[in-house]
Amino acid sequence: MNRIWLPLALAACAAAPAQAQHWGYDGHEGPENWREMSEDWAVCATGQQQSPVNLTDALEADFAAAAIDWADETAGVVVDNGHTVQVNVENAGGVTIGGTFYRLLQFHFHAASEHTINGRHAPMEVHFVHQSEAGDLAVIGVMVERGDSLAALDSVWAAMPADSDASPGIAARVHLNDFLPTDQAAFRYQGSLTTPPCSEIVSWTVLTHPVTATPEQIDSFEMRHPDSFRPVQPLNRRYVLVSDE
Ligand SMILES: [Zn+2]
């Protein structure tokens, strides 16, 4: 598989500068070896707030919901960065968490899911990566189970580049809100990028309710990026909170 890094695109979950290092999800490029591949990636192994995690035994908390305010229809550019299919967006709105606004930069996919809920992976997870003016990240994770069609995927998959070369990407109209379940109850915890450099700068919100996509829709991504998830990491001294709404 072509592992060429695409410098124009944000890495999966990362607002990181371009990296010459090639990393992957298995073998000598796999997650257990990320720390060996660059001295800048040591936190992948030494960090105490790494992501993803298993979401279980969450504390019910009355925190303010992540107030998602995405544009209903937006222009996106679909790229394959060698690790995932990613859609870069501009002027697409964002999310307010704890009084801080985070602007939506991109979203991308993992198969199977990176987070697990009570130990179980969903077939796919979508990560919506937002950034505040201060540079902090807020990522919203949406689980995708097999079921009815997820119409919002069609325009994205239709614009999937033929391969992960350095092409500038393919334009697509994206209906962001169609990726959200009606009930936006969520887990919340403090974590990291799930890809190198694994920086611990992410406020995670993972919705407890999934959306569905057809097995064919999920296969379209999974056949291109199989096993594109980092294993769950120890929770250590963190808490996972869960809201009702
Ligand atoms: Zn991700």
pLDDT in tens, 95-136: 999 999 999 999 999 999 999 999 999 999 999 999 999 999
Asked, for residue 100, whether it belongs to a domain, the answer is yes
Q: Is residue 1 part of a domain?
A: no
Query: Is residue 19 in a domain?
Result: no
Distance 110 CA to ligand 1 centre (A): 6
pLDDT of residue 10: 42
CA of 63 to the centre of ligand 1 (A): 24
Distance 13 CA to ligand 1 centre (A): 5
Q: Which amino acid is at 28?
A: H
End-to-end Cα, the chain, rounded Å: 41
The boundaries of the domain holding residue 152 are: 37-242
Any domain includes 88: yes
Structural domains of the chain, count? 1
Q: What is the pLDDT of residue 245?
A: 61
Closest CA to 217 of 121, 145, 162: 145
The answer to whether residue 226 sits within a structural domain is yes
For the stretch 191-222, pLDDT in tens is 999 999 999 999 999 999 999 999 999 999 99
Quote the pLDDT of residue 109: 98
What is the percent of the chain with per-residue pLDDT over 70, rounded to a whole number?
90
Q: How confident is the model at residue 3 (pLDDT cuts 50, 70, 90)?
A: very low
Dump pLDDT digits (tens) for 25-69: 998 999 999 999 999 999 999 999 999 999 999 999 887 778 999
Find out whether 13 and 195 touch, Cβ atoms under 8 Å: yes
Q: How far is the CA of 99 from the centre of ligand 1 (A)?
A: 24
Is 83 one of the catalytic residues?
A: yes
Whether residue 21 is contained in a domain is answered as no
What pTM, to 2 d.p., does this model score? 0.90
Q: What is the pLDDT of residue 61?
A: 87
Within a domain: 5: no
Kindly name the residue from 83, 110, 115, 130 that is annotated as catalytic: 83
Measured CA to CA in angstroms, residue 61 lies from 58, 64, 142, 143, 178 at distances of: 9, 9, 20, 21, 27
Q: What is the pLDDT, as a whole number, of residue 63? A: 78
- What CATH number is associated with residue 46? 3.10.200.10
In a domain, 30, yes or no: no
Q: How far does residue 237's CA lie from ligand 1's centre (Å)? A: 23
